[in-house]
Amino acid sequence: MSHTHSPNFLRRVLIADAVCSGVMGLVLILAASALANVLALPEALLRETGILLLPFAAFVAWLASRAVVPRVPVWFVIALNALWVFDSVVLLASGWVTPNVLGYAFVIAQAAVVAVLAELEYTGLRRAAVLA
């Protein structure tokens, strides 16, 4: 497996991703009913999304804690983040859900945060390759 010495930048971005994912997961689980009412999104979708986020957050946190961060798992995180953004757009464009304006803003905002994290992870991975 190809490894790279993780510079502080990549490690910090992975930690930010883990924290954002973990917090969002907990919020979606604990407040699914209230959020469903405010956003006009299905409660089950919100809760199940939260449940999916927790193991992802744990994996990303574990990855950030490695003395040497393996490149392939970071690429996997980037790919999952890109898929998340794509799926968020498809969710809104498909008509599978009918959120209100706040629901649209919520889905778009969280997708934008995930896109920024993926870009920063990619940048951190490239920087690490240059340093290696």
Whether residue 120 contacts residue 13, with contact meaning beta carbons closer than 8 Å, is answered with yes
Asked whether the whole model's pTM tops 0.85, one would answer: yes
Residue 120 has pLDDT above 80, yes or no: yes
User: Which pLDDT does position 7 carry in this prediction?
Assistant: 57
Which residues, at least 6 apart from 122, have a Cβ–Cβ distance to it below 8 Å? 78
Domain ranges of the chain: 3-131
Which tens digit of pLDDT belongs to each residue from 28-57?
A: 999 999 999 999 999 999 999 999 999 999
pLDDT-above-70 percentage for the chain: 92
Residue 18 and residue 64: Cα distance in Å, rounded? 9
Would you place residue 131 in the very low, low, confident or very high pLDDT band (cuts 50, 70, 90)?
Answer: low
Which tens digit of pLDDT belongs to each residue from 79-99?
A: 999 999 999 999 999 999 999
Residue 124 and residue 9: Cα distance in Å, rounded? 6
Which residues, at least 6 apart from 130, have a Cβ–Cβ distance to it below 8 Å? none
Question: What residue ranges in 35-129 does DSSP mark as E strands?
Answer: 68-70
